Amino acid sequence: ENEKTDSEYNTVAEIEKKITEAFEVFDHECNQTVDVREIGSIVRSLGCYPTEAQLHELLAEVEEEEPTGYIHLQKFLPVMTRVLVERSYQPTPEDVLLHAFEALDVNKCGYLTKEELVKYMTEEGEPFTQEEMEDMLSAALDPETNTMRYKDYITLMIVDDV
């Protein structure tokens, strides 16, 4: 995307349409609502990197008075528009991500063992669920050595993410 035209052409109207489209991908019933559990995916797919805590705050703003398990586009749209206009929850630059892995790599060997990875991801920060942990392991772990070469992993994920 052409950065310098952002301000000109990414008007609020365009942003709203973009949000609506992303919302509709998850709107199975075509009735302007999505399952509350999908909000995280929608927000993130629009280029934001919120923590789980930040996501919960956002959810509190878009949920109904009496939570129904569904979020209406009507409530979501203004909140999400603000998020995008204010550029909240910015992404992590690749080198910062690398440093984070290196910080966990106590012995500086260039890789994390399965045990180390599981420990950090499920005990620190905002812990992974078992499913998230299994998903990461299946993609990240070299089955022969049971280790994650994090530099390679980052590259792999970034290729997928293009």
Partner 1 sequence: MGCKTSVPCNATKKSERCKCLLRAALLIQRWYRATMARIEMRRRYCLNIFQSIEYADEQAQLQLSNFFTFMMDHDLEMTESNFSLAEFERRIDVPDSYYGPRLKFPLTVADANALLDAFKKEELLHARYVLQLLHETRRVLKEMPNITYLSTSYSKEITVCGDLHGKLDDLLMIFYKNGLPSEKNPYVFNGDFVDRGDNSMEILIILFAFLLIYPNDLHLNRGNHEDYIMNDLPKIGSDFKKFILQVHGKVILYLLEDVFSWLPLATVVDSKVLILHGGISDTTDLDFLNLFERSKVREHVHVGLLLSSLKNLAAVGPHEEDSSRDPTQKEWQQTLDILWSDPRNQRGCIPNKLRGGGCYFGPDITAKLFERYNLKMLIRSHECKQDGYEIGHGGKVITIFSASNYYEDGSNRGAYIKLNPDLIPRFIQYQVTFHSAHSPPRINTVEGAALKALREKIYANKTELMEAFMSKDLTGAGKLSVSDWAEAMESVLQLELPWRTLRAQLARLSADGRIEYTSCFYDLEIEKPVEEPSLVETLCKYRKDLEMIFNFIDKDQSGLISLEEFHHTWRLFCAHMGVETDDEAIIKLANTIDYNKDGYIDFSEFLGAFHVVHRLDKGK
Q: Which residues contribute to the site for partner 1 (CB under 8 A)?
A: 1-2, 5, 8-9, 13-14, 17-18, 21-22, 24-26, 28-31, 40-45, 48-52, 91-92, 96-97, 99-104, 108, 120-121, 124-128, 132, 135-136, 138-139, 143, 157, 160-161
Whose Cβ is closer to partner 1: residue 45's or residue 78's? 45
Shortest distance in whole angstroms from residue 127 CB to partner 1: 8
> CA neighbours within 13 Å on the CB side: how many for 23?
24
Cα torsion 24, 29, 35, 41: sign: negative
Q: How far is 13 from 104, CA to CA, in rounded Å?
A: 43
Shortest distance in whole angstroms from residue 102 CB to partner 1: 7
> CA neighbours within 13 Å on the CB side: how many for 95?
0
Rounded to whole angstroms, what are the CA distances from 77 to 33, 38, 85, 142, 155?
11, 15, 12, 42, 33
Shortest distance in whole angstroms from residue 115 CB to partner 1: 15
Q: Are strands 33-35 and 70-72 parallel, antiparallel or unpaired?
A: antiparallel
Shortest distance in whole angstroms from residue 147 CB to partner 1: 14
